[in-house]
Amino acid sequence: MKVFAATLALAALCTLAAMPGARAASCVDSDDCADLNVPESCGRTVLGFVVTEVCPVACKAPACAAAIRAARSTSAQISTSEGNVKLQAANGKQVMIVKDDGTEINLSDTLTATDAVPQFKSQERRAESTEEQIKGLLQTLQTTFTAHVDVAGKAYTTAKAQAASTKAQAASNAALVEELALFRETVANQTQAQASVVAENTGDTSKAGGIPWNTFPFTEKLQDQGGYVLPFTWPKGRELMADSALKIYQCVFTLLDDKGKATKETRASAMLAATTPRSFLCSVPAWNKAGSLPQKKEWKTTVGVRENGRDMPSPKNAPVMTWTTQTPTMKFPGTSPLFRGGKNKKVFHTIPFTLSYPYGPDGYASLAFTMTTTNKNMVTNIEIIGDKKSASRSLKFAITSDAKLVKLGIDVTVASKTGLKSVVKQQFQFAVSNGLGKGGLSGDYMTAEAVKSIHNKLGYNSEKASESWQLCHGMYKSTGWDAGSKYWNACAGKGRTFFFLRRPNGRVFGGYMRDTLTKSARGYTRNTPGWLWRVNPSNTNSVDYYGKCCAWYVHYFHPSHAFTWGGGHDLHCNTNGGCYANLGYSYSNPRGYQTTNGKKELAGDYNFNMKDEIKNGAVVEIYLIK
């Protein structure tokens, strides 16, 4: 049917085309061209007519394309094609659509299909890419959300557990509170019960009722400084509140006068807890304060027990306590010291000791000492020395004896003003010492320890050295200074010599010569042993030695020189007694050579005159060492 209609339409068109003037309108299609299968039929010949010529517009004939464009360019065109409506504006004009509200839309700005498709495809690809990105972001968000949900879940679980724990703790605390309340109620009930017992046994606000504590025999004396422990017990039927937290018990002592009646003067111990339900240990308090002097030797008191400040019933035969003050005591060294001295030379010695008397400086000052000895012919001038308000004292005495070894002793008694006293029998020994050697007096001015130090330095045992060292010359107050022929004849050319000097200022010093003493003008000696020495002024048991340190010079010999050490000279006395000490030139000086203190190191002074000082008790002794 469709082909038949197309054939009729073509026949009609062909008839129209055969009509005069049809060619003139060859660029205009008839409406019948729409019934043909155009553009498939374009270019075909039907009934002797070419379809392109009959329907030039539908077939887009080139011949009329320019005419169509020209016509379109001068005027607006509205046409239809295959059911489509086509709008074309004149050349340079726009295709506009006006909306109901008067808004104009320019259709010329819209893209053609050819241009729009690529752009649409591009936008479509972008949209797809964006969609993928959005999917990725959504996936990330989902993962993150899942993680956060997991963390939140765990936090929730933890919080839930903590809440449960807190709830359990709260429940436990509540149980403890309830238990504490029950404990308090129990204590209150016990206290009320005790109060009932007190009320039943005639107790009141100052006295507790009940059964008295058990009496006990007590014959010892309590010290006024306290510290003793008294045990109190109760029979069955009188229970104490034995709780370590309840410190409500104390013992009380009441002073009795000379007639045995109680006074108002009391001393109470610290509040303590009961040891058991029927026992209490009382720590006896101090009656006299530490540092205060006691007024009596002894006194008596009663004793009782208080419960929370109320006096508990005491037995009728409660003991009476006797108190006494402290006895002063002394502590001497445990050993029997050995003292040495010259034969029949009075030499003083001391033995330190410590007092024990707990009443402070005034207590020490109040003590009295007495000393006795069975060796009155040898031990004399006995006294106690030291600060009278101090616990540190010393026993001082003098010994005069010719015995090689003798045991001696002093009985020392210390007594307080209250009449209490103690005695120490202090023992010691004495042995005659020849000092550095036979015939000298050095032992009168040197301790046994100092003498021993010098002997040991030269390789001698002190006992044997005292026999083998021999005094060759001495200068004393009785003889005066003598550095003449007697001196040279007794000591020169006899071997090793040792010099001992003692000045009135107390300095004890001297020197050792390995070279034999000579009167000739020999001059300096070098590279031979020699040294100087002194007894340490701060410690008379110690000896300081000064060895060769610097210049070669050891000794200097000349007829005008009594003795000389070093090139400075470090120690020098001429034959007229003029002397000086200047350590540091040849012999060591810890205080420096030529310094103010260095010049005083050895003899106490730089310049001194032994000839003059011997008149005032100075001593010079020269020993030969066998």
User: For the segment 450-488, what is each residue's pLDDT rounded down to a tens digit?
Assistant: 998 999 999 888 667 767 889 999 999 999 999 999 999
In whole angstroms, give the CA distance from residue 162 to residue 588: 83
- Of 157-166, 184-193, 510-519, the poorest mean pLDDT is in 184-193
Give the chain's mean pLDDT: 82
Do residues 554 and 528 lie in contact, with contact meaning Cβ atoms separated by under 8 Å?
Answer: yes
The number of C-alpha atoms within 13 Å of 84 and in the hemisphere containing its C-beta is 6
**Domain co-membership, 606 together with 464:** yes
Higher-pLDDT residue of 398 and 92 is 398
Phi, psi (degrees; rounded to nearest 5) at 124:
-65, -40
- Report field, pTM of the whole predicted structure over 0.75: no
Amino acid (one-letter) located at 386: G
- Work out how many domains the chain is built from and give that number: 4
Report pLDDT for 535: 96
Between vectors from CA 35 to CA 32 and to CA 36, what angle results, nearest 5°?
100
Which 3 state secondary structure label does DSSP give 223?
strand
CATH code where residue 272 lies: 2.60.40
Q: Residue 392's closest CA among 356, 425, 363?
A: 356
Cα–Cα distance measured from residue 388 to residue 156, given in angstroms and rounded to the nearest whole number:
82
| CA pair distance 582, 291, nearest whole angstrom | 55
Do 284 and 341 belong to one domain? no
**Pick from 432, 457, 479: which residue ends a domain?**
432
Per-residue pLDDT for 36 more than 50?
A: yes
Q: Which two tokens stand for residue 435?
A: 């000092």
> Could you please report the per-residue DSSP string of 458-515?
TT--HHHHHHHEEEEEEE-TTT----SHHHHHHHTTSS-EEEEEE-TTS-EEEEEESS
Could you give the CA distance from residue 588 to residue 46 in angstroms, rounded to a whole number? Answer: 155
Assess whether pLDDT exceeds 80 at residue 576: yes
Are residue 552 and residue 461 in the same domain, yes or no? yes
423 & 391 share domain:
yes
> Is the pLDDT confidence value at 448 over 50?
yes
At 259, the amino acid letter reads: K
Shared-domain flag, residues 240 and 291 = yes
What mean pLDDT comes out for the span 290-304?
A: 87
What number of other Cβ atoms are within 10 A of residue 98's Cβ? 9
Residues 302 and 416 in one domain: no
Report yes or no on 27 lying in a domain.
yes
The answer to the question of residue 146 being in a domain is no
Q: List the domain range (segments joined by +) for residue 460.
A: 442-625
Q: At residue 199, does pLDDT exceed 70?
A: no
What is the per-residue pLDDT for 2? Answer: 42
Whether residue 13 is predicted with pLDDT greater than 70 in this model: the reply is: no
Q: Does the pLDDT of residue 203 top 70, yes or no?
A: no
Q: Are 235 and 353 in the same domain?
A: no
Residue 104 counted as domain residue: no
- Residue 294 pLDDT exceeds 90: no
Rounded CA Rg of the chain: 68
pLDDT classification of 526: cutoffs 50, 70, 90: confident
Tens digits of per-residue pLDDT, 252-264?
999 999 999 999 9
What's the CA gap between 418 and 296, in Å, rounded? 6
Q: State the pLDDT confidence band at 433, using cuts at 50, 70 and 90.
A: confident
Same domain, 369 and 448: no
d(CA 52, CA 42): 5
Q: Which of 410, 432, 454 is the last residue of a domain?
A: 432
Is residue 566 assigned to a domain?
yes
Which of 47, 78, 96 is the C-terminal boundary of a domain? 96
For residue 251, pLDDT beyond 70:
yes
**CATH code (residue 333):** 2.60.40.10
For residue 172, give the H/E element and its range: helix 113-200
- Please tell me whether residues 470 and 602 are part of one structural domain: yes
